[in-house]
Amino acid sequence: MAEYVKFEVPAELSGKQASVIEKAAKSGKIRIGSNEVTKAVERGEAKLVVIAGDVEPPEIVMHLPVLCGERKIQYSYMPTKKELGEKAGVKVGTAAIAIVDEGEQKKDFEDLVKKLGEVAK
């Protein structure tokens, strides 16, 4: 586990998280890449940030958990950049994504954010 990963996401939540990301990529709005995610967090647009657990060098995403904590935005982790990129609907891996608009899945999204908040404590 990388030094910037603050908590482990349980398997049941990991599946739900993947589903929410896929749905948000299709019907909502997401920001892809560490620079775009940083901007979305700083502007207060992000509702959930998901960071890949295998980013090299780690300095690329190391600031995101701190920034999300300051802005009170929930964040989570996905094991690999490849998996995160696939769920976000791109053909390449990505270091991080931010869900800006959850689309048609408001209830599932809010439930996921609440459960991730409990795990992160």
Burial annotation 43-74 (CB, 10 A radius, 16+ → b, else e): eeebbbbbbbbbbeeeebbeebbebbeeeebb
Q: Distance between CA 51 and CA 55 in Å, rounded?
A: 9
Q: Please, which pLDDT band fits residue 49 given cuts at 50, 70 and 90?
A: very high
CA distance 65 to 2: 13
Out of 2.60.120.260, 3.30.2130.30, 3.30.1330.30, 3.40.630.30, the CATH code matching 11-120 is 3.30.1330.30
Extract the runs of DSSP E, i.e. beta strands, from the chain: 29-32, 48-52, 74-78, 96-101
Q: What is the pLDDT of residues 20-39, one digit of tens each?
A: 999 899 887 999 999 999 99
Question: What pLDDT score does 1 carry?
Answer: 62
pTM of this structure:
0.93
Q: How far apart are CA 28 and CA 101, in angstroms?
A: 5
Q: Is the pLDDT of residue 58 over 80?
A: yes
- Sheet containing strand 74-78, strands side by side: 29-32, 96-101, 48-52, 74-78
**Residue 107 pLDDT:** 87
Per-domain residue ranges of the chain: 11-120
